[in-house]
Each structure stands twice: as C-alpha cells, then as structure tokens.
C-alpha cells in the first residue's frame, strides 16, 4: 500500500482534536473509503477511548481523516474526531 503523509494542517489538527498519527494511519489502512468534498476521500474508524475529553467522559473516539490518493502516496489534508 502507498505511504501516508500528513499535511502541515493535518498535523496541527491532531493535537487540537486529540488524535494520534497512528490512529489516522490505522483508519486509512483498515476502514472503508468513501467520496468526500472536492474530489477527496474519507473514512471513519471507532477506537475505544474510556477517558475524559474537555471535561466529559467518553467511551468511544471516532477518527475521520480527509485525504487524497495521489500516484505515489496518500496525503491527509485534515482530521476530524468525534467523541461519544
């Protein structure tokens, strides 16, 4: 499979959204891909969380990378996280 590279914006978003680069890579490698806006792709993967985030306890964290598949690599343009 192609290497996965995070853009500068995506790397910044990891910290703000409580996501690790490993979670992004795992999501892209194991979850089903779907079309996203602007010709990009996205996927979603749920991870057990069992911690507090912003003062509230959540059992699950869902990681949703938005990415583009290029000829020789996958470029992640941003990352979203949902807690529930």
CATH number at 68 reads 3.30.2310
Could you tell me the residue range of the domain that residue 39 belongs to?
Answer: 4-83
pLDDT in the model for residue 21: 98
Q: Do 50 and 56 form a contact (C-beta atoms < 8 A)? A: no
pLDDT in the model for residue 1: 84
pTM given for the model: 0.94
CA distance 10 to 70: 16
pLDDT in the model for residue 60: 98
The residues of the chain scoring below 50 in pLDDT are none
Domain count along the chain: 1
Q: Do 79 and 65 form a contact (C-beta atoms < 8 A)? A: yes
């Amino acid at each position: 499979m192609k290497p996965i590279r995070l853009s500068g914006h995506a790397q910044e978003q990891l910290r703000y959204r409580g996501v690790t680069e490993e979670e992004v890579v795992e999501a892209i490698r194991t979850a089903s891909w779907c079309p996203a806006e602007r010709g990009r792709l996205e996927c979603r993967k749920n991870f057990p969380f069992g911690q507090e985030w912003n003062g509230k306890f959540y059992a699950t964290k869902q990681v949703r990378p938005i990415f583009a598949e290029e000829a020789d690599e996958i470029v992640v343009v941003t990352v979203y996280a949902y807690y529930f």
